[in-house]
Amino acid sequence: MAEALRKLDRGLPRLDMRSPQLVARNFPLDMSRQGIFGHSMGGHGAITLALKNPGRYRSVSAFAPITQPSTAGWSRPAFEKYLGPDEASWRIYDSTLLIADGHRVSELLVDQGSADGFLEEGLRPQLLEVACAAAGIPLQLTLRDGYDHSYNFVSTFMAQHIAWHAERLFA
């Protein structure tokens, strides 16, 4: 399984490079104004893509992202299964470790529900907060009282994220 994922991973840079090219060829967009965001593991993906592609994204935000999947109880076994036992090779898939290794974004916006069942064991936004503080990355982390991990949480605050991105994309 680890070898299959390594083959897939070798294709991810091509996918990451081809997707914007495909969009640029087919839509009248200003590709110098890109933002990225996601929810949960997709939020982590958005953060890691932004960290790995400096200068591409003017804005990055996430709803309830897992922040350190290499150590969370429920994602660590997946790392072991798909990436193999070499923990050093996991660093490029972990946002907090990418930051510790010198990757940067200009700023981050993160919303997290206080009633999220994954908050303490898996998501752990305080780890992202510590990593950003140590690296000097401005992080706007908002804990939303009473919200969980659901669509309702995301849809309630989506307009704020879109406005935040728009301020940066059209500055």
pLDDT tens digits, 24-51:
888 888 989 999 999 999 999 999 999 9
Output the CATH code of domain 32-166: 3.40.50.1820
Alpha carbons 3 and 125: distance in angstroms, whole number: 31
pLDDT at residue 123 in the model: 97
Domain ranges of the chain: 32-166
pLDDT at 10 over 60: no
Considering only CA atoms, which of 81, 76, 80, 74 is closest in space to residue 120? 74
pTM assigned to the model? 0.88
Give the Cα separation of 14 and 156 in Å (integer).
Answer: 34
The candidate with the shortest Cα–Cα distance to 37, out of 168, 151, 163, 162, is 162
Q: Mutual orientation of helices 2-26 and 76-83 as an angle, nearest 10°?
A: 100
Q: pLDDT tens digits, residue range 129-164?
A: 999 999 999 999 999 999 999 999 999 999 999 999
Residue-wise pLDDT tens digits, 105-118: 999 999 999 999 99
Contact 25, 107 (CB under 8 A): no
pLDDT at residue 3 is higher than 90 = no
pLDDT of residue 9: 54
Q: Compute the distance between CA of residue 46 and CA of residue 14 in angstroms, rounded to an integer.
A: 17
Of residues 159 and 16, which shows the higher confidence score? 159
> How far apart are the C-alpha atoms of 48 and 45, rounded to whole Å?
5
Q: Quick one: pLDDT at residue 5? A: 46
**Greater pLDDT, 16 or 60:** 60
What percent of the chain stands above pLDDT 90?
Answer: 78
| Pick from 157, 156, 22: nearest CA to 165 | 157
Q: List active site positions.
A: 40, 116, 149
Determine the pLDDT at residue 112: 98
